[in-house]
Amino acid sequence: MTTTAPAANARTLALTHYAARGVLEYVLARYGITFQQQVALRAAVTADTPQTPDELVTEVRGSLKADPAGIRVALDELLARQLLVADGAHLRPTDAGRDLLAAVGAETAPISARIWGGIPPEDLAAAGRVLALVTERANAELAALTT
């Protein structure tokens, strides 16, 4: 029996996003961290240089399109849990913050392998091109709406 794949559209993209995010949030909950906190912590950990709170807010907002006030709350929560530490005007990830991201990554890696495994590389490349284009266009539309 052959089934027809659904056309890629906003709904299929959203369903895919929320399915994958649901898996990640399930794992994050075991570590007592939210999705937004994880994104902010990852931004701090992967930055080439220590970031100011404003720089982290800008980066997370660019990724999640989230309210800056909520992102600042997430940063404050990461500071309170000592996953980030203030160093002058900058925020630095602590060893505990790095360890938490490593533990989440280790737990989600086999799940991700099962989700993504077996998809032909050419299909992943095509999906990547389409998603990059949709992201670019949606960011441009959002910018036009908010300026």
Residue-level pLDDT at 3: 63
**Does 87 share its domain with 140?**
no
pLDDT at 111: 97
Give the pLDDT band (50/70/90) at residue 4: confident
- Which structural domain, as residue segments, surrounds residue 62? 16-116
Lowest mean pLDDT among 6-10, 49-53, 77-81, 105-109: 6-10
Give me the CATH number covering residue 96. 1.10.10.10
- Cβ burial of 2 (10 Å; 0-12, 13-18, 19+) is exposed
Q: Average pLDDT for residues 79-103, to the nearest whole number?
A: 97
* CA atoms of 70 and 57, how far apart (whole Å): 9
**Which amino acid is residue 48, in one-letter code?**
D
CB 45 within 8 A of CB 25: no
Question: Which amino acid belongs to residue 52?
Answer: T
pLDDT at 2 over 70: no
**Is pLDDT of 105 > 70?**
yes
SS3 47: coil
Task: Mark whether 25 and 82 lie in a shared domain.
Answer: yes
Domain total in the chain: 2
- Give the model's pLDDT for residue 147: 87
**Are residues 147 and 133 located together in one domain of the fold?**
yes
